[in-house]
Structure 1
Amino acid sequence: MAMCGKKFAYSSQLLSSASSRIFSFSWGFPFLVQKSFKSSGRRPKKKIYYREHDLDRVMELQKKPSLILQLKNIILNQKNRCILLRDLEKEVGIVEKWNFMSIIERYPLIFKVTGGSRRPYVLQLTDKALSIVEQQKDVMEMMEPIVVTNLRKLLMMSMDCRIPLAKLVLIQPELGLPKNFMEDLIPNYPDFFSVQEFKGHDYLQLESWDSSLAVTHRESNLFMDPMNGKRLHFTKDGNCSCPFSFRVKFPAGFRPNMRYLEEFHKWQKLAFPSPYLNARQFNPASPAARKRAVAVLHELLSLTVEKRLTSAQLDAFHAEYQLPCRLLLCLVRNHGIFYLTNKGIRSTVMLKEAYDGSCLIEKSPLVRFNDKFLSLAGRIEHSLNKKMPLTVEVV
């Protein structure tokens, strides 16, 4: 999807030939443009997708930290926790090698190179970096019950309570799973998981259903909302405390009119089946099933450590979760719930309610550990209470 400046245009089909109307889509509520011109030969108004600069900045700020963390893991995976500089190319390729060489030179508090004078150059972590790394084992122990629960929920949401192992590996870092989770984690929970072959592929199969886990992140937040049941009227921000409503954040430049808000409020009140019920029970063309698909996407993103996945990663799970055929259009239409950004290396889908400005609101132990390690690089964080950037002190 091509972007231009602050916003980009895309085309969609008009569903009515009325001279003046609301654009009502099959997903149950109007989209960004609310009225079209009367049929007088003039071009219809373009559909605008508004940028969220704070969320774009999240991805821009991740470029160098992601390289730092990747290089750290490469070093720690070596037998002696060090690697010859000449072997770095074998790990990352000749093109990426130079990006990492720049990182090594730029952050001497994290990486150091020893050798020379007829000795090979060796890359390793500094003593300060190693002192933080020593805490990683405790962090992974804290993460284990979290990732096991999230993995069970992922399997419970899937069509047949199983997911191909290759697809889990695709989102392994985003779920917070250890690198060798199939050897180090799965065998420890035979009551929850098993590995089975199906049509020539290995699948992770759910062994036991736990009804207490069949509660979505959306529902949990709704139960904790002190205004639950007291804000049934619709507001200009689109939020209400209906049992089937989503928390939305419209873009700053988006100004919905009253007719739009009325239609949107009807969609917010529309009942839909739980994402943990099997999708085969429902007609995918029904409004309730389409709203359920939005809830499935919401829950998938909620189960990741940073509440985001790339578009390609989401697209890989079409069959397992019966995602919309036109997934990209579904995400764009629900612009108050999800945000699509092309910043960074890949197009990324973010859960808007999980961020306050550019800061992730709920941080898992793994995210807090990574932040602490990256503080050696002087990474900029954002305070939740202030808009001014807060520089993390170097430990």
Structure 2
Amino acid sequence: MEPILVRNLRKLLMMSMDCQIPLEKIDLIQSELGLPKNFKSYLIPRYPEFFSIRDVKGLDHLCLESWDSSLAVTAREENLNFEGFQTCCRGIPKDGNFLGPFAFKLKYPAGFRPNRKYLEEVVRWQKMAFPSPYLNARRVEPATPQARKRAVAVLHEILSLTMERRLTSDKLDVFHNEYRLPCKLLLCLVKNHGIFYITNKGARSTVFLKEAYENSNLINKCPLLKFHDLFASLIGRPCSISNIPLEI
């Protein structure tokens, strides 16, 4: 599983402002990324060509040593097969899904009935070009529609790099400075409810990537999660995301 872990860490660093993230923040999402608890002492030193740990203003940061343009491709772009998307160019798709290079897969609740004006705005948004999440955010003009759409793409990519395609909202917000996330993060997530699902079950709200789920079931489990579930079944424990009482 090590190549997957290394690849995902490199992608997280490549998206950040200065290709570096405080280690204490990586620690916060260590389990969601599938990293071993000793990743700082075991995994990082094994790949000096990719990673280094440096003191930045009194804090240890995980830093990227080399950029790889082949990794600067988002999960959204990798999945551009458009299966089930609206293929006809005439009219407005009833579910908001649009065939295009800058479109996101949308999944609205079964009872959601948007009017035509709403869908027209969604299609305009789907067509709008935006900078890649792997482009340094300093090169993006802030407070523009393109920058706001890029922020959605960054959130989409961060969630795509987790094992279960979900994170609590407070853990996402911790990375505000590194990824220039929206100041009103929850408002951004709610406005894009066709992409993200937020549940307040428990002490913290959790953000799910909707396209990764069919009702409460994760559609395509990553190899790390399959391995985890196999090990859990061998010792008689339930799988990691079974019986989630949600309808995403």
Tell me, yes or no, if the aligned pair for 1:244 and 1:270 is still in contact at 8 Å: yes
AA partner of residue 312 (structure 1): D
Residue 284 of structure 1, CA deviation = 1.5
1:169 pairs with 2:31: no
Does the residue aligned with 1:183 lie in a helix, a strand or coil? coil
Q: Are the structure 2 counterparts of residues 225 and 371 from structure 1 closer, same or farther at C-alpha, using a change threshold of 3 Å?
A: same
1:353-364 matches, cutoff 5 A: 353-364=211-222
- Highest CA radius of gyration, 1 or 2? 1
Query: Residue 342 of structure 1 aligns with which residue?
Result: 200
1:225 pairs with 2:82: yes
AA partner of residue 367 (structure 1): L
Q: Are the structure 2 counterparts of residues 179 and 243 from structure 1 closer, same or farther at C-alpha, using a change threshold of 3 Å?
A: same
Does the residue aligned with 2:125 lie in a helix, a strand or coil? helix
1:322 pairs with 2:152: no
Does the residue aligned with 1:320 lie in a helix, a strand or coil? helix
Tell me, yes or no, if the aligned pair for 1:307 and 1:354 is still in contact at 8 Å: yes
For 1:286-344, what per-residue CA distance to the aligned partner results, in whole angstroms no more than 9, with x for missing partners?
10011000000000000000000001100100000000011010001000000110113
CA RMSD in angstroms, aligned pairs only: 1.9
Tell me, yes or no, if the aligned pair for 2:86 and 2:93 is still in contact at 8 Å: no
Tell me, yes or no, if the aligned pair for 2:86 and 2:97 is still in contact at 8 Å: no
Tell me, yes or no, if the aligned pair for 2:85 and 2:97 is still in contact at 8 Å: no
Tell me, yes or no, if the aligned pair for 2:54 and 2:61 is still in contact at 8 Å: yes
Tell me, yes or no, if the aligned pair for 1:227 and 1:241 is still in contact at 8 Å: no
Tell me, yes or no, if the aligned pair for 1:272 and 1:291 is still in contact at 8 Å: yes
1:291 pairs with 2:134: no
Tell me, yes or no, if the aligned pair for 1:229 and 1:242 is still in contact at 8 Å: no
1:1-395 matches, cutoff 5 A: 143-222=1-80, 224-225=81-82, 230-233=87-90, 234-375=92-233, 376-377=236-237
Distance 1:180 1:356 in 2: 34
Normalised to the residue count of structure 2, the TM-score between the two structures is 0.91
Name structure 1 gaps, 5 residues minimum.
1-142, 383-395
Residue 227 of structure 1, CA deviation = 7.1
Distance 1:231 1:211 in 2: 33
Distance 1:326 1:226 in 2: 33
AA partner of residue 174 (structure 2): A
Name structure 2 gaps, 5 residues minimum.
244-248
Question: Where has structure 1 moved over 6 Å in runs of 4 or more?
Answer: none
For 1:214-235, what per-residue CA distance to the aligned partner results, in whole angstroms no more than 9, with x for missing partners?
000011111x335789444541
AA partner of residue 98 (structure 2): C
Among the aligned pairs, what percent are the same residue? Answer: 67
Aligned residues between the structures: 239
Distance 1:165 1:377 in 2: 31
Distance 1:165 1:215 in 2: 24
Query: Residue 246 of structure 2 aligns with which residue?
Result: none
Deviates more, 1:275-284 or 1:207-216: 275-284
